[in-house]
Structure formats: structure tokens, C-alpha cells
């Protein structure tokens, strides 16, 4: 079962860190949806805390091609 609060906090943290490093990325960029999907799946696969999920999210965003979204 996915803990929605953990998922939401991890998504917000990862997205905030990513946008701080990439100020040219719009708040409503498509990568945010991909991040949410990725963390949702990760959370379903195994139990994680907010910090761990946020770390996975940041790593995922760094791997995305900048021109794909």
C-alpha cells in the first residue's frame, strides 16, 4: 500500500531540488508527471521513506533527456 503523504513529500522534495539546479525548467514541465509516475511505482514495489524516495526521484530526473519532455 502506498503512503500518499510519503509519496507527495518525496515528489515535492525531488521536484524542488531538481528545479533549483535547473531554473529554466517550468513548474508544470512534463518531467514532473514522469517523476510522480516513477515514484508511485517505486513506492508500490517496496516500502520507502520520504528521503529515500526523494533521492530516487532526483536520480531519475537527472537521467531523463532534457529534450524528451
* Residue 20 domain-assigned (yes or no): yes
pLDDT in tens, 14-58: 999 999 999 999 999 999 999 999 999 998 888 788 999 999 999
Domain that holds residue 26: 4-63
Q: Which residues contact 7 (CB under 8 A, 6 or more apart)?
A: 36, 39, 40, 43, 53
* Residue 21 domain-assigned (yes or no): yes
CA distance linking residue 7 with residue 66, whole number of Å: 24
Q: Are the CB atoms for 14 and 61 separated by under 8 Å?
A: yes
* Residue 69 domain-assigned (yes or no): no
CA distance linking residue 6 with residue 11, whole number of Å: 8
Predicted confidence at residue 68, as pLDDT, reads 60
pTM: 0.83
Other beta carbons less than 10 A from residue 28's beta carbon = 8
Amino acid at each position: 500500500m502506498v503512503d500518499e503523504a510519503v509519496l507527495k513529500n518525496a515528489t515535492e522534495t525531488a521536484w524542488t531540488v531538481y528545479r533549483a539546479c535547473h531554473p529554466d525548467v517550468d513548474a508544470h514541465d512534463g518531467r514532473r508527471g514522469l517523476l510522480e509516475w516513477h515514484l508511485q511505482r517505486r513506492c508500490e514495489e517496496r516500502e520507502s521513506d520520504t528521503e529515500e524516495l526523494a533521492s530516487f526521484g532526483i536520480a531519475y530526473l537527472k537521467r531523463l533527456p532534457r529534450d524528451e519532455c
